[in-house]
Amino acid sequence: MRYLNVRADPSLLDEMLVLSGGQRRVPVIVEDGKVTVGFGGT
Protein backbone atom coordinates (compact mmCIF):
# COMPACT_ATOMS: atom_id res chain seq x y z
CA MET A 1 0.00 0.00 0.00
CA ARG A 2 1.20 3.50 -0.80
CA TYR A 3 -0.21 6.54 0.99
CA LEU A 4 0.18 9.90 -0.75
CA ASN A 5 -0.66 13.13 1.05
CA VAL A 6 -1.32 15.87 -1.50
CA ARG A 7 -1.68 18.44 1.26
CA ALA A 8 1.85 17.71 2.49
CA ASP A 9 3.27 17.36 -1.05
CA PRO A 10 1.29 19.46 -3.56
CA SER A 11 3.37 18.07 -6.46
CA LEU A 12 1.29 14.88 -6.12
CA LEU A 13 -1.93 16.73 -6.99
CA ASP A 14 -1.51 16.17 -10.73
CA GLU A 15 -1.22 12.41 -10.20
CA MET A 16 -4.32 12.42 -8.01
CA LEU A 17 -6.31 14.37 -10.61
CA VAL A 18 -5.33 11.93 -13.36
CA LEU A 19 -6.40 8.97 -11.24
CA SER A 20 -9.65 10.61 -10.13
CA GLY A 21 -10.64 11.83 -13.59
CA GLY A 22 -10.18 15.45 -12.53
CA GLN A 23 -12.21 15.24 -9.34
CA ARG A 24 -10.79 17.10 -6.35
CA ARG A 25 -12.20 14.73 -3.77
CA VAL A 26 -10.44 12.52 -1.31
CA PRO A 27 -9.73 9.77 -0.70
CA VAL A 28 -8.71 8.42 -4.09
CA ILE A 29 -8.17 4.69 -3.70
CA VAL A 30 -6.66 2.56 -6.45
CA GLU A 31 -6.89 -1.18 -5.90
CA ASP A 32 -6.17 -3.71 -8.62
CA GLY A 33 -6.63 -0.99 -11.24
CA LYS A 34 -10.07 0.04 -9.95
CA VAL A 35 -10.34 3.68 -8.84
CA THR A 36 -12.68 4.72 -6.03
CA VAL A 37 -13.14 8.43 -5.34
CA GLY A 38 -14.54 9.78 -2.09
CA PHE A 39 -15.93 7.97 0.91
CA GLY A 40 -19.13 7.15 -0.98
CA GLY A 41 -17.17 5.15 -3.54
CA THR A 42 -17.98 6.65 -6.95
Domain count, the chain: 1
What H or E segment, with its residue span, contains residue 19?
A: helix 13-19
pLDDT value for 9: 95
Residue range of the domain that includes 1:
1-42
Q: What is the pLDDT of residue 28?
A: 92
Does residue 41 carry a pLDDT above 80? Answer: no
Task: Report CA torsion sign: 2, 32, 16, 7.
Answer: negative
Question: pLDDT class for 1, splitting at 50, 70, 90?
Answer: low
